[in-house]
Structures are given as structure tokens and as C-alpha cells.
Amino acid sequence: MIIYCQTVYKRCFHLLLLLLSVFLLAQPSLAQNQQLLKPFPNSSLATSSSTPDVVYQVPLGILQRKGNSAAPEKLVRVNGSVTKLLYEISDSFNGDYIRDYFKQQFEQAGFERLFACDGRSCGSSNDWANDVFGNRVLYGPAENQFVMTYLDRSSGRDNYVVSYIITRGNGRLYAYIELVETGGSSGDTGLFTENLLRNKFMVLANLRFAGDELAPESGSLLELVSVLKLNPELNVYVVAHLEGAESFESLQARSQQRADSVAAALATAGIDMSRLSAKGVGPLAPGCNGDTCRNRVEVVLR
């Protein structure tokens, strides 16, 4: 089934999020909600999942390849809950029709379109399927794909709907929807993630060093480990600042040792080193006053 929102447009995004639970309860419950949901003919929910408190990269542009992976040329990172729905649709319809159907529903609901592309102009379908959405079922001929990203502000938050429609080489037609409801948990990890995304960097508070080696289980390092494990798409710089009466060369070398020590601790905790870049900048760009602040370690989004 595909979602249809009638007159109560302000509730549309939350109805989208509720669709999974409505579908799984039983088919009769759908009939009871006909005034708000209208099944799309000859479609079925193939897979579904919901994940709370993750960092999601909202695609706002066509794909560009960087090394061994591809990413949208423009995106925004948000913290929130992500619901993923994959529908298989009868081959009696075509991708253009499904694209127009979703477009009508989203725009009648008052959503703002942020990005849309069709066919080969979007980039490789293989890259969208594997690098962006992590679902190889979505791979098909590039000329058969449609991508749309919409913004819903009706709840007072910036919530997002991302749709990807593809007709595979075997003729099977899929509509894939990702629903992003922003706002993490009220716990420490959720707040840490929100601050990191908003500011693009975070000072790792209360780190303790023995010389220039990081002491075990130090300060906010455990929070950072949790955030990086929950969000495997995030890559960071670990930047160490250090001031003192020593020479510039000595301070930079010592700060590099501190940055390397923090990166090594993250790797020991299970974070792949390919996601980390350690930089020691010594007394450069102090950015604040006070001994503790001048000798800080930051994590900066790459």
C-alpha cells in the first residue's frame, strides 16, 4: 500500500510514521482508518524497519563519487528516528505514475520539496542503492529511477521524507521511503549528537592525559564511541590543541601525540581507523581563553 493523506494534512507525516504499526496489526485495521489512509492498488509492503537516535544524511543533490563510495553533492545531517519502508508495486503501473502519485500526496500535505531528480541525471542507481540507502534491491537501470526529498515543518521540527522509485531490469517496480523525524533522545548521547551536528565540532570534555598519553575511560570519549557506533557514516578529525612555554615544534609534536592517543583509544573501542584523522596543531588557532581550554581536544566532522 502507499500512503494517501486527505484533508488532515498537518497529520500526514505522523501518519506516515504510524503506517508500519498500522500495517502489521492486521488488514481490518486499515479499513477502520480509510478516512486517513488509502491503499494503493496492487502494492505490498516488502520490508520495513525503524531506528531511533541516529545521524541521518538527508540527500539534497545528485551523487558524486569520492574514492570507493558515492555521496550526494549536497546534504544535511540531522539527528532523529528513521523509518524505512519498501513497497513492491504491480508492474501494471510505471515509475512515472508512482513518482507523480507521491509528489501529489506530499505537496497536498504542504511539504516543501527540497530536491528531485529523474533518470541518469541523479547518478548511478547502484550508488543510490548501496552507498546511500544500503539496500541492493533498489539497484536498476539508471534511466528508471526517481529521487525526491521533502521537508515537513508542521510539527515545529524539520522532518524529512525521502523517496526513491526504481523499475529494475527484471521489470519489478519498487517505491522506497525513508521517514526522518528529527530530535534525538534526551539522554547524554542524544544531546552529544545534536550538538555535534549543529556545531560541526565538539570539545571532548574532561580528557585526562598521563604525559601525552590518554588515561583510560576518560571524559566524554565513551559518549563519542557510542555516537560513532550508532552512526557508521560519520567520519571525524581528532584535533589536539596545546599551549605552553616550549617551542612551537615541541608543542605541535606533543599535541600530535595526544591526538594519536585519542584516535588509538577510539580504535581500541571498536571504531575503524579509516573513519578517524588525528591532527595535532599545538598552539595554533587557540579559539578560547584559559589553560584547560587552550589544551583541549576536539572532534570535528569530516
Tens digits of per-residue pLDDT, 70-86?
889 998 888 788 888 88
For 30-34, 192-196, 273-277, which range has the lowest pLDDT when averaged over its residues? Answer: 30-34
Identify whether 245 is part of a domain. Answer: yes
pLDDT band of 277, cuts 50, 70, 90:
very high
The dihedral through the CA atoms of 52, 223, 230, 276 has a sign that is positive
Q: Estimate the crossing angle of helix 221-230 against helix 248-268, to 10 degrees.
A: 60
Let me know whether 178 and 202 are in one domain.
Answer: no
C-alpha cell of 222? 565513551
DSSP 200: S
**What is the mean pLDDT of the segment spanning 202-210?**
81
**What is the mean pLDDT of the segment spanning 155-184?**
89
Identify whether 16 is part of a domain. Answer: yes
Domain stops at, among 148, 182, 216: 182
In degrees, to the nearest 5, what angle opens at C-alpha 139 toward C-alphas 74 and 172?
Answer: 130
Non-local CB neighbours of 180 within 8 Å, separated by 6+ positions: 56, 58, 78, 80, 81, 82, 159, 160, 161, 162
Q: How far apart are CA 112 and CA 99, in angstroms?
A: 16
Let me know whether 22 and 165 are in one domain.
Answer: yes
pLDDT at residue 32 tops 50: no
> In the prediction, which pLDDT does 119 show?
96
Q: Residue 154 in contact with residue 10, Cβ under 8 Å?
A: yes
Domain extent at residue 147: 9-182
- Residue-wise pLDDT tens digits, 221-262: 877 888 888 888 889 999 999 888 889 999 999 999 999 999
Identify whether 147 is part of a domain. Answer: yes
Please state the length of the chain.
302
Domain stops at, among 163, 182, 201: 182
Identify whether 2 is part of a domain. Answer: no
pLDDT at residue 10 tops 70: no
With 0.75 as the threshold, say if the pTM is over it.
Answer: no
Question: Domain containing 260 — which CATH number?
Answer: 3.30.1330.60
Let me know whether 57 and 169 are in one domain.
Answer: yes
pLDDT band of 276, cuts 50, 70, 90:
very high
pLDDT at residue 157 tops 90: no
- Residue-wise pLDDT tens digits, 85-113: 889 998 888 999 999 988 988 888 889 99
Q: How far apart are CA 207 and CA 295, in angstroms?
A: 10
38 φ/ψ angles, rounded to the nearest 5 degrees? -125, 120
Let me know whether 107 and 223 are in one domain.
Answer: no
Please give the tally of structural domains in the chain. Answer: 2
> In the prediction, which pLDDT does 7 show?
42
C-alpha cell of 132? 546511500
Mean pLDDT, the chain, integer = 80
- C-beta atoms surrounding 119 within 10 Å: 14
pLDDT at residue 295 tops 90: no
